[in-house]
Structure 1
Amino acid sequence: MSYHPGIFKPLPAKYFRHPEEGGATNVETRLSRLPGYLTPNRQFFVRSHFDIPELAAADWQLTLTGDALSREQSLSLADLEQLPRISVIRAIECAGNARAFFARDFGKAAEGAQWRLGAVGVAEWSGVRLRDVLALAGVAEDAFHVLPEGLDSGRFARPLPIDKALADDTTIALAMNGEPLPIDHGFPARLVVSGWLGAASVKWLGRIEVSREARNTYWNTKDYTLAGPDYPAEGEADGIPITTMPVMSLVDLDDDARLPAGKTMLRGRALSGEGQITDVECRLDDGDWQAAILHTPNIAGAWVCWSLTCQLDPGRHVLYVRARDDRGHEQPERMVWNDHGCCYNAVTRVNIEAAE
């Protein structure tokens, strides 16, 4: 096994933006160039914490271990292929998506890669249920934490509670949009944890520990937490460990987009962790909120595409968008500061220049 410090797939500027302080392994999708509901593999954002492992499928092994298993097990790809195959359409969104807007709102940047709105994508993930894999090793009734670990150079790992690990749609994905997983997205196997922050969907999966006790790591105690003056510490964590992602709306435009004046159709997407979007509303400048049309499909745990036809007068405008889900969650007018700059989901604002 060898490691690559960057990203393997081509990164044309028309498809990607590099977030400030993002490092060599982070790029976000330009939402303005998405062609349909699913995010094509070549346009899917990339977030990696450590150097990427170059793995051979024939040599890959998944080790199941821990005191809440009846036996330790090592599985090959051929072993996984013997299990029932499933496919789920789900979003993966970095918890730091939209982090750059903390600087706009608070006058200071939160720590981490300064993503705008493109650290998110929706794909069809095909593979096997995590619970079916763990069942091969016999899961104890008092199992508490499941700790997946990647084969990247830093062995990234973040725990799941046992009920989320055994959920019907928690998947070990072997394919993405009908193709073998690209190396940037976890080849040959990755976890897909529906509705949770992207860090839970560990890439280049190599080891899973099932424990009767908590198996916390840096990534759910010192990062990927809501920490700061308004968030109390929880146990070992410096704040509240992030799990389900909040409701969020996106616009299929680059900021400061130039559009023709006159009757114009605006488009975007909205998503909400494990929930389903029920409403999207838009407002131009100081005008009234208008209900956008929601299109099919509208998949819980993924997103829905929306559109709105409006009249754009020549000049500069600000488009505001807010979404609501079936659990009563909606985007707030403003955010509460958190030190790690996670889970930004205040009403979305995009600047538009309308020209004759």
Structure 2
Amino acid sequence: MSHHPGIFKPLPAEHFRHPDEGGATNAETRLSRLPGYLTPNRWFFVRSHFDIPELDANDWRLTLTGDALSHEHVLSLADLERLPRVSVIRAIECAGNARASFARDFGTPAEGAQWGQGAVGVAEWSGVRLRDVLALAGVEEGAFHVLPEGLDSGRFARPLPIDKALADDTIIALAMNGEPLPIDHGFPARLVVSGWLGAASIKWLGRLEVSRQTLDTYWNTQDYTLAGPDYPAVGEADGIPITTMPVMSLVDLEDGARLLAGNTILRGRALSGEGQIVAVDCRLDDGTWQSATLHTPNIAGAWVCWSLDCQLDADRHVLQVRARDDRGHEQPEHVVWNDHGCLYNAITRIAFHAEDRSD
């Protein structure tokens, strides 16, 4: 097995931008270019921590091990394909999505890649339930953590509590939007952990350890945590390990965009971890908050598309957007600083220009 230091798929500038760190392995989607509800595979954002493994599907194996299994078990891709097939439509969002907004709000950037709002996508993931796979090795009473590990050059790994691992919509995906997983997105098999940060959905899955003990790694103790002066350390972690993603709104419009003045439809998307969006409100400049129209589908754990009809004068405008989910969570006016720059979800603000048609 060899490893490749960059992204395989083409990254045309009209569909992607690169944050200013890790440009060889990170690329975010320009949401303004998305044509529909699902994010096409070729335009789905990429976040890889290490070099990408080039794997042969015929040689790939998944090892199940750990003291909370009745026996060790090794599976081929053919073994997985004999299990019941399931499909879920779910979002995968990097915990650092919108990190660049910390620099805007606090005057200094948080550590890490300076993502805009495009480190997120929604796809139909098809594969097998993780619990069906673990059952082949006999999960014993007292199992506490499942540690999935990738076959990338750094063996990225981050633990799941057993209840989340056994959930109906935690799957090992073998296909993405009806096609075999692209290599940048985890070929031949990856986890999809619904509603949690993208780092939990381990790509290029190669090993699953099931333990009666806590299985901590760097990626849930020293990164992908809420750490800083306002957050307490939890156990071995430098802060609070991140799990479920918060409510967030996105605008299908880039900061500084130029639109035509007059009757206009502004569009965007909203999502909330494991929840479902029930309302999106928009405020143009100093006007009142208005309810946006929510469109179907509206899938919990994925997102909903919204639109707002408005009249634009020829001028500079600022659009604010806030979303609310079915659990009562709403985007706050401000967020508290955290050192790793994760979970930014303050009210979304986009500035743009409207111009007369004759300009």
Q: Tell me which interval the TM-score lies in, with the shorter structure as reference length.
A: over 0.9
Q: CA deviation at 1:23?
A: 3.0
The answer on whether the counterparts of 1:226 and 1:339 sit within 8 Å (CA) in structure 2 is yes
Quick one: which amino acid aligns to residue 319 of structure 2? L
The answer on whether the counterparts of 1:247 and 1:329 sit within 8 Å (CA) in structure 2 is yes
Structure 2 counterpart SS, 1:264: strand
Structure 1 counterpart SS, 2:58: helix
Aligned residues between the structures: 356
For 2:337, the equivalent position in structure 1 comes to 337
What TM-score do you get using the length of structure 2 for normalisation? 0.99
**For residues 295 and 149 of structure 2, what CA distance do their matches in structure 1 show?**
37
Answering whether residue 253 of structure 2 is matched by residue 265 of structure 1, we say: no
Q: CA deviation at 1:22?
A: 3.2
For 2:325, the equivalent position in structure 1 comes to 325
Answering whether residue 248 of structure 2 is matched by residue 251 of structure 1, we say: no
Q: CA deviation at 1:254?
A: 1.1
For 2:123, the equivalent position in structure 1 comes to 123
Structure 1 counterpart SS, 2:320: strand
Structure 2 counterpart SS, 1:149: strand
Quick one: which amino acid aligns to residue 321 of structure 2? V
Q: CA deviation at 1:57?
A: 0.1
Answering whether residue 208 of structure 2 is matched by residue 208 of structure 1, we say: yes
For residues 95-134 of structure 1, the C-alpha deviation after alignment (integer angstroms, 9 at most, x for no partner) is 0000000000000000000000000000000000000000
For 2:35, the equivalent position in structure 1 comes to 35
**For residues 190 and 29 of structure 2, what CA distance do their matches in structure 1 show?**
20
For 2:13, the equivalent position in structure 1 comes to 13
Structure 2 counterpart SS, 1:80: helix
For 1:229, the equivalent position in structure 2 comes to 229
Quick one: which amino acid aligns to residue 338 of structure 1? N
Q: CA deviation at 1:21?
A: 1.6
Answering whether residue 58 of structure 2 is matched by residue 58 of structure 1, we say: yes
**For residues 125 and 9 of structure 1, what CA distance do their matches in structure 2 show?**
19
Q: Which moved more, 1:250-259 or 1:18-27?
A: 18-27
Answering whether residue 187 of structure 2 is matched by residue 167 of structure 1, we say: no
Gap runs ≥5 in structure 2 = none
**For residues 40 and 282 of structure 1, what CA distance do their matches in structure 2 show?**
27
For 1:185, the equivalent position in structure 2 comes to 185
**For residues 327 and 257 of structure 2, what CA distance do their matches in structure 1 show?**
33
What TM-score do you get using the length of structure 1 for normalisation? 1.00
For 1:135, the equivalent position in structure 2 comes to 135
**For residues 19 and 287 of structure 1, what CA distance do their matches in structure 2 show?**
33
**For residues 213 and 140 of structure 1, what CA distance do their matches in structure 2 show?**
13
Q: CA deviation at 1:237?
A: 0.2
For 1:22, the equivalent position in structure 2 comes to 22
Question: After TM superposition, where is structure 1 displaced by more than 4 Å over at least 4 residues in a row?
Answer: none
Gap runs ≥5 in structure 1 = none
For residues 263-287 of structure 1, the C-alpha deviation after alignment (integer angstroms, 9 at most, x for no partner) is 1000000000000000000001111
For 1:78, the equivalent position in structure 2 comes to 78
